[in-house]
Amino acid sequence: MIDIKSMLPDQLGAYLKELGQPAFRSKQIFQWLHRGVTSFDQMTDLPKTLRETLKEQCYITAPIVERKQQSALDGTIKYLWRLRDGNCVETVLMRYQHGNTVCVSCQVGCNMGCKFCASTLGGKVRDLQPSEILDQIIFTQLDSGAEISNIVMMGIGEPLDNFDNVIQFLHLVNHPQGVNIGMRHISLSTCGLVKKIDKLAQLGLQLTLSVSLHAPDDETRSKLMPVNRGVGVDLLMDTCRRYFQQTGRRISYEYAMIDGINDGDQQADLLVKLLRGQPGHVNLIPLNHVEESPLKPSRRVRQFQKRLESQGVTATVRRKLGGDIDASCGQLRRKHMQQDQLQPGKDEAL
C-alpha cells in the first residue's frame, strides 16, 4: 500500500500518470490531503472509479487524539496522538504574540540517550513517515482551530537521525499548494550529528538550525549527551561554522540549565570562549524536571545569562509554557506507556 500523503505533487503526478489520469488530478488530491481528509470518499471532485482505485492501492494517515492536556495558565495544548500502528507521539501547540507555534515529533522514541530528556527513555521504536510528521500540523490546526505559523522540530526524536523523511516533510509543509509554512518559520533541533549537519547544509534550506549544546566542554557534555563521545565539542563547533558559511543562517544554541552541572561561572566563561566571533545566540532553557532523572533545574539562569551578555554573547531565556501540564518532551507518552503496562490484556504494541 502507498502512503499517498508522503508524496509531493510531482510524485503524485507520476503515480497518477501510470493510472492514466490527467496531471491536474495531482493538485486536487494534494490539496484534499492537506486539508485533513481521512478517506478518499471525501474527495468529492474525483471520479468514483479513481477513488476506488486509490482505496485499493493507497492509504491516508490520520492520527487519533489519545490524550489532550491544555494549560489553564497560558493556553498551551499538549497532544498525544495514536498512530495507525498503535504507537503514540506528542505534539505541543504554543501560543505567542507573533503567532502559533507547533512543536512536532519525528520519531517514536529516541536513541540519543540525553540524560535530561524523557523522550529517550525506552529507546527508539521507529522513524515517523513524512505524512505522520505533517499530520501533527494538520490535525493540531483542525482540533484547536488555531492557524499554525511556525514549526519547531524539537519534539520526540532526533530529526537528523530520520534525515530523508524529515527533508521530505519539510518540502511538503513548505509547498504552496499545501500548508505553505515558509522555511524561515521552521526550526530544526539536533543533538549534533555532524555528518548530517554537513549534509543538511548542502541543501541550502533557509530554516533555523538549533544545536542542542548544553555544555561547553567534552567532560560535561559527554556525561549529559552520549552523542558527544564520538564527536567532541570542537568538531561540532567546526561543523557549525561550516554550516553558517554555506547557508548564511545564524545558529541557535540550546542550553538546558541544570543545577550544579553546567550552570557555573566557569561554564559560562567557557561558553563565551567557544562562541566568540561566531554568529549565533544562546537559548537558555529552564530544565523541566523528569521523574526518572536525578537532574534538577538550575537556580542561576539569570546570573548565567548576565555573565554571557557581559562578555558579548547574546543569550535569551526560553519562556516556560504549559507549567501546569506534562511540559517536558516525552513525559505524556511515558506516563501513557506506564499506565498501559499496568492494565492487563493491553496489546504490548500500545
CB 33 within 8 A of CB 60: yes
Question: In whole numbers, what is the pLDDT of the chain averaged over residues?
Answer: 92
CB neighbours of 126 closer than 8 A, spacing ≥ 6?
87, 107, 108, 109
pLDDT digits (tens, 9 = 90+) for 167-196: 999 999 999 999 999 999 999 999 999 999
Question: Annotated catalytic residue: which of 66, 88, 90, 254?
Answer: 90
pLDDT of residue 335: 61
262 vs 336, higher pLDDT = 262
Give the span between the Cα atoms of 253 and 189, in whole angstroms: 9
Q: How far is CA 291 from CA 118, 214, 287, 296, 330, in A?
A: 9, 20, 12, 10, 11
- The answer, as to whether pTM is greater than 0.85, is yes
pLDDT of residue 331: 60
* H helix runs in the chain, sequence order: 9-18, 24-35, 48-57, 130-144, 163-174, 194-203, 218-224, 233-247, 265-275, 301-310, 331-342
pLDDT of residue 289: 72
Give the span between the Cα atoms of 214 and 274, in whole angstroms: 12
pLDDT of residue 278: 86
DSSP state of 177: T
What mean pLDDT is predicted for residues 25-44?
Answer: 98
Pick the closest to residue 156 from 191, 186, 199 (CA basis). Answer: 191
pLDDT of residue 319: 81
Tell me: pLDDT of 105 over 50: yes
pLDDT digits (tens, 9 = 90+) for 140-174: 999 999 999 999 999 999 999 999 999 999 999 99
pLDDT of residue 328: 55
Query: Given pLDDT bands bounded at 50, 70 and 90, which one contains residue 346?
Result: very low
Tell me: pLDDT of 49 over 50: yes
CB 330 within 8 A of CB 121: yes
Q: Is 103 noted as a catalytic residue in this protein?
A: no
Q: From its phi and psi, is residue 192 left (phi > 0), alpha (psi between -120 and 50) or beta?
A: left
Q: Is 18 noted as a catalytic residue in this protein?
A: no
Give the span between the Cα atoms of 190 and 307, in whole angstroms: 26
pLDDT of residue 347: 37
SS3 241: helix
Tell me: pLDDT of 219 over 90: yes
Place of cell 504554543: 94
- Is residue 279 packed enough to be buried (19+ CB in 10 Å), middle (13-18) or exposed (0-12)? middle
Tell me: pLDDT of 45 over 60: yes
Question: Annotated catalytic residue: which of 114, 117, 240, 329?
Answer: 329
What share of the chain has pLDDT > 90, as a percent?
Answer: 83
Tell me: pLDDT of 137 over 70: yes
